[in-house]
Amino acid sequence: MAFDIKKIREDFPILKRKMNGKPLIYFDNAATSQKPAPVIDAEREFYEKYNANIHRSIHRLGEEATKKYEEAHDKASKFINAGFEEVVFTSGTTESLNLLAYSLGSEIKEGDEMVISQAEHHSNFVQWQQLAKNKRAKLKFAEITDDGTLDLGQLSRILNKKTRIVSLFHVSNVLGTINPIKKISKIIKEKSNACFIVDAAQSAPHMKLNVKELGCDFLAFSGHKMLAPTGIGVLYGKQELLEKMQPFMFGGEMIKHVTFEDTKFNDLPWKFEAGTANIAQAIGLGAAIDYLNKAGMQNIERHDAELAKYCYRLLDSMGDVEIYGPEERNSLVSFNVKNVHAHDTAAVLDSEGIAVRAGHHCAMPLHSLLGIPASARASFYLYNTKEEIDALGEGLKKVSKVFS
Ligand code: PMP
């Protein structure tokens, strides 16, 4: 399908809103994306036509809901080239990564080592830090160079046979840096026996992922950043690893047989999906994946990277804007107008109808490394345009004028 941005924009009802009489320019996609009509319709249709619990009802509604839920599972598996058994639905990246910290964490012993980078989102940071504290294990940090990329030489040097877990971002939610996951997988396998976890929250919405090619053991992402509703996300894990892992939560759905003495757990992926699932949200995710596939992930990747580059160059040419991270980036640009707090920048832009994020973007350690309390972030998706970025440029000129 041709990538027709005019048509795409028509599919997103929220983009018709006016802000202060101006067209809404939504540049906060890294926080959450907007939703197209087919996703909203899919969720509504579930509640209007076949709302029922799944996997346990003999009646027709239950069967229809189960079929649609399992179809969504199938679409999510194919989206990243994983097997059906290898994709677990969670509430999002945060739950996926906590599930891993709990299940893999039960095997961590005193003196074991874990590695994350200095630029991780708190949801790929705090649980490893706490796990290390609780188990007297060591948490090491892969360093970020001055140009905002991961220092692969330093990463290689801190890996050894004691390293049990390496968990890294694919695309940084602050720097926009794209980590070379395939290359990193190789380095990890050469130097250690560690499990390699990829936080794909900022890559899955924007690039075609193939877990077989990436070579990671686990990968996590959130539906709401890729056109789907909130409350649904994915944990991919290699089948042989998921088979061996302890469930994260116990209860209904995740069991095969329960006696007074013991429990036999359910088959994959249901072993990791205790309790009533987020059924409507999962069906919404299925519709979102259909939408992304139709637009073409390669088209989306090219479009979003082009916008990020255009924005980087525009902001760079302004003279009083500091940009964080390398020029080669995926879909977002974090910056500060010199001598202006990011919150003030965002407030002025908001008055122009432009929504950007301002703050530490759940990456406080990285911001302290950068020596700044906060940054503003413009993040793009398939419905954004260069004209909107030009408007951001004009908005930033106003910021400079107001605060000079
Ligand atoms: N990792 C990264 C890189 C992110 O950008 C985010 C969301 N900002 C998360 C993890 C957490 O995602 P969620 O809040 O959807 O669980």
Q: Whose CA is nearest to atom 12 of ligand 1?
A: 93
Which ligand 1 atom is the nearest neighbour of the CA of 362?
8
CATH of 5-31+296-402, one of 3.40.50.970, 3.90.1150.10, 3.30.70.260, 3.40.50.300: 3.90.1150.10
Please report the pLDDT score of residue 100 as a whole number. 98
199 in contact with ligand 1, CB cutoff 6 A: yes
What are the domain boundaries of the chain? Answer: 5-31+296-402, 41-294
Ligand 1 mean position, distance from CA 182 (Å):
21
Given a cut of 50, the residues of the chain with pLDDT beneath it are: none
Q: Whose CA is nearest to atom 5 of ligand 1?
A: 173
- The pairing of beta strand 218-222 with beta strand 195-199: parallel
State phi, psi for 335 to the nearest 5 degrees.
-160, 170
Which ligand 1 atom is the nearest neighbour of the CA of 199?
1
**CA 65 centroid distance within chain:** 27
334 in contact with ligand 1, CB cutoff 6 A: no
270 in contact with ligand 1, CB cutoff 6 A: no
120 in contact with ligand 1, CB cutoff 6 A: no
Q: Whose CA is nearest to atom 8 of ligand 1?
A: 31
Number of alpha carbons in the 13 Å side-chain half-sphere of residue 347: 7
Token pair, residue 264, equals 């036999």
Are 23 and 353 a contacting pair, CB within 8 Å? yes
Q: Which of 122, 123, 181, 199 has the most ligand 1 atoms within 8 A of CB, as the residue to mutate?
A: 123
Ligand 1 mean position, distance from CA 69 (Å):
24
pTM given for the model:
0.98
CA distances from 382 to 73, 286, 290, 322 (A): 24, 18, 14, 25
92 in contact with ligand 1, CB cutoff 6 A: yes
Please report the pLDDT score of residue 1 as a whole number. 56
Which ligand 1 atom is the nearest neighbour of the CA of 31?
8
Ligand 1 mean position, distance from CA 202 (Å):
7
Please report the pLDDT score of residue 57 as a whole number. 81
Q: Which CATH code is given to the segment(s) 41-294?
A: 3.40.640.10
Which residues are designated catalytic? 362
121 in contact with ligand 1, CB cutoff 6 A: yes
- The long-range contacts involving 41-49, CB below 8 angstroms and separated by at least 24 positions, are 41/287, 42/283, 42/284, 42/286, 42/287, 43/229, 43/280, 43/281, 43/283, 43/284, 43/287, 46/279, 46/280, 46/283, 47/280
Residue found under tokens 């002025």: 348
Please report the pLDDT score of residue 404 as a whole number. 77
Please report the pLDDT score of residue 286 as a whole number. 98
Whole-number Å distance between alpha carbons of 358 and 337: 12
169 in contact with ligand 1, CB cutoff 6 A: yes
127 in contact with ligand 1, CB cutoff 6 A: no
Whole-number Å distance between alpha carbons of 237 and 143: 26
Ligand 1 mean position, distance from CA 63 (Å):
33
Ligand 1 mean position, distance from CA 121 (Å):
7
Whole-number Å distance between alpha carbons of 70 and 68: 5
List Cβ neighbours of 12 (8 Å cut-off, separation of 6 or more). 34, 35, 36, 37, 383
For the stretch 318-371, pLDDT in tens is 999 999 999 999 999 999 999 999 999 999 999 999 999 999 999 999 999 999
117 in contact with ligand 1, CB cutoff 6 A: no
